[in-house]
Amino acid sequence: MLSYILKRLALTLPTLSLVSIAVFLLIRLIPGDPALVLLGEGADAAALAGLRADLGLDRPLPLQFVSWLQHALRGDLGRSIVSGEPVAGLILQRFGLTAVVVLIAVTAATVIAAIAGLLAAWRRNSVIDLAVVGTATVVLAIPSFWLGLLLLLLFGLKLGWLPFVGYIPFSESALQAMLFLVLPVVTLTITESGVLTRMMRSSSIDVLHLDYVTHARAKGLPERTVLVRHVFPNAFAPTLTLVGLTLGHLLGGIAVIETVFTLPGLGRLMVDSVLARDYPVVQGCLLFTAFVYVLVNLVVDLCYPFFDPRVTAR
């Protein structure tokens, strides 16, 4: 198991190397000059040249890349062009909030999907199935920003139950922090539960038709035991793959939800940085996101044997 984990981690190195090169080049291929964005319209040419020199942007690209890579290998992702803050600290600070929202929401969405999908498959073509499939389809079709705004207007404005502008950290007030996170978490949960439910239902239908399920029923096992012990674990494995992919891309930032609910998370940092051509932050964020993506999928792969004994971590 350990050697498998180490092998998988070692395989991330070429991936991250390619990502670092691609990210470095791609952000520079986009038109726009960070010095110009920083100094604004009408900036003096000498001031622009001076700032570019300060930021090291006047050096040839290969030199800039080598310098950045050398620092990155030492764990130093540079400083933000806009705020001057260390990029690594900035990313970790923002990632904490994004991770909270994403982990809670994806966990909740997974639980909902597992129950609803299994139930719909078990009662296929019934009213329950119709309701689950119909709801999942509607949820899939709703953009997260629109749903977020609706929830915000209903629970924040009309009913006044929840705060919706700003954010208070947990260490400042745990209760307030939770209240601020309710709407983003609920929005993301609903949004993500649609596709997971469809996947769970589909794989459950496949499993329900397998011989060993018929055999289990023929043995006289209660239906609940058949579903929980024999159908669920096998049906959940493909959903787990999707959970891994979902977690991977959501942990890279939920920019739309963070914007609607004014949460200072990783997604907003990335979007703001792209718009400001804050090269070090964009590079740092994307490298970090790639690493998280690979890591999350490794963890998911390691979880497979828990559900499907045919899969082993080797």
Partner 1 sequence: MARSAHLAHVLGTLAVSGALALGCVCSQAVTAGTMLRARFKSDIVSTNPGTRRDENTDAVLLHVVEGLVASREDGSPAPMLASRWTVSADGRVYTFTLRPDVVFHNGAPLTAAEVIWSLQRYLKPETRWRCFAEFGEHGIAQVLSITAPDPHTVVIALDRAAPMFLTTLMRADCGGTGILHPDSVDADGQWRAPIGTGPFEMGEWRHNQFIELNRFARYSPLPGARDGNAGGKHALVDHVRFLIIPDSSAARAALIRGSLDVLDNLAASELTGIRGRPDLRLERVPILDCYALLIQTHDPLLSDVRLRKAIALTIDTAGLTKAITWGTGTADNSPIPVASPFYGSVEAPLRQPNLAQARRLLSAAGYDGQAIQLTTSRRDPQMFDAAVVIQAMAAQAGIHLDIDTVDWPAHLSRYTVGTYQLMMQSFSARLDPTLSFGIFIGDKREEPRKVWDTPHSRELLKRTMTSADPAVRQVVFDELTRNFVDEVPAVALFSSSRLSAVRSNVTGYRNWSAAQQRLWGVGLN
Site for partner 1 in 258-287 (CB under 8 A): 259-262, 264, 268-269, 272, 275-277
The token pair that represents 292 in the structure block: 């998280």
| CB 237, min distance to partner 1, A | 11
Region of 14-22, 56-64, 93-101, 133-141 interacting with partner 1 (CB under 8 A)? 93-101
Residues 175 to 204 in contact with partner 1, rule: CB under 8 A: 177
Cβ 229 to partner 1 shortest distance, Å: 7
Q: How far is the CB of 289 from partner 1 (least distance, A)?
A: 16
Of 5, 100, 140, 213, the one binding partner 1 (CB under 8 A) is 100
Q: Which of 3, 10, 29, 44 binds partner 1 (CB under 8 A)?
A: 44
List the one residue out of 204, 183, 210, 188 whose CA is nearest residue 133.
204
Which string of x and - marks every residue 105-144 that binds partner 1 (by CB under 8 A)?
A: -xx--xx---------------------------------
CB of 214 to partner 1, least distance (A): 20
Query: Under the criterion CB under 8 A, does residue 152 sit at the interface with partner 1?
Result: yes
Nearer to partner 1, 133 or 248 (CB): 248
Indicate the SS3 state at residue 79.
Answer: strand
Residue 71 C-beta: closest distance to partner 1, Å = 20
Count the site residues for partner 1 by CB under 8 A.
Answer: 71
Q: Please state the length of the chain.
A: 314
CB of 81 to partner 1, least distance (A): 10
90, 103 contact by CB (below 8 A): no
Are 39 and 47 contacting, i.e. CB atoms less than 8 angstroms apart? yes
Measure the CA dihedral 231/236/239/243, to 10°.
Answer: 160
Shortest Å, Cβ 128 to partner 1: 22
Q: Which stretch binds partner 1 (CB under 8 A): 7-15, 102-110, 128-136, 210-218?
A: 102-110
**Pick from 14, 60, 62, 160: which binds partner 1 (CB under 8 A)?**
160
303 binds partner 1 (CB under 8 A): yes
Shortest Å, Cβ 16 to partner 1: 22
45 forms part of the interface with partner 1 (CB under 8 A) = yes
Among 170, 241, 291, 301, binds partner 1 (CB under 8 A): 170
Q: Distance (Å, rounded) from C-alpha 46 to C-alpha 79?
A: 23
Decide whether 14 or 42 has the Cβ nearer to partner 1: 42
If phi > 0 it is left, if psi is from -120 to 50 it is alpha, else beta; for residue 264 that is beta
Buried-exposed string 162-193: b where 16+ CB fall within 10 A, e elsewhere: bbbeebbeeeeeeeebeebbbbbbbbbbbbbb
* Cβ neighbour number for residue 211 with a 10 Å cutoff: 8
> 282 or 287: whose CB is closer to partner 1?
282
Q: Binding to partner 1 by residue 39, rule CB under 8 A?
A: yes
Q: Is 10 exposed, middle or buried (0-12, 13-18, 19+ CB in 10 A)?
A: exposed
Query: Which pair of structure tokens corresponds to residue 256?
Result: 């739309």
Rounded to 5 degrees, what are φ and ψ at 79?
-120, 150
Residues 6 or more apart in contact with residue 275 via CB below 8 angstroms: none
* Alpha carbons 26 and 287: distance in angstroms, whole number: 13
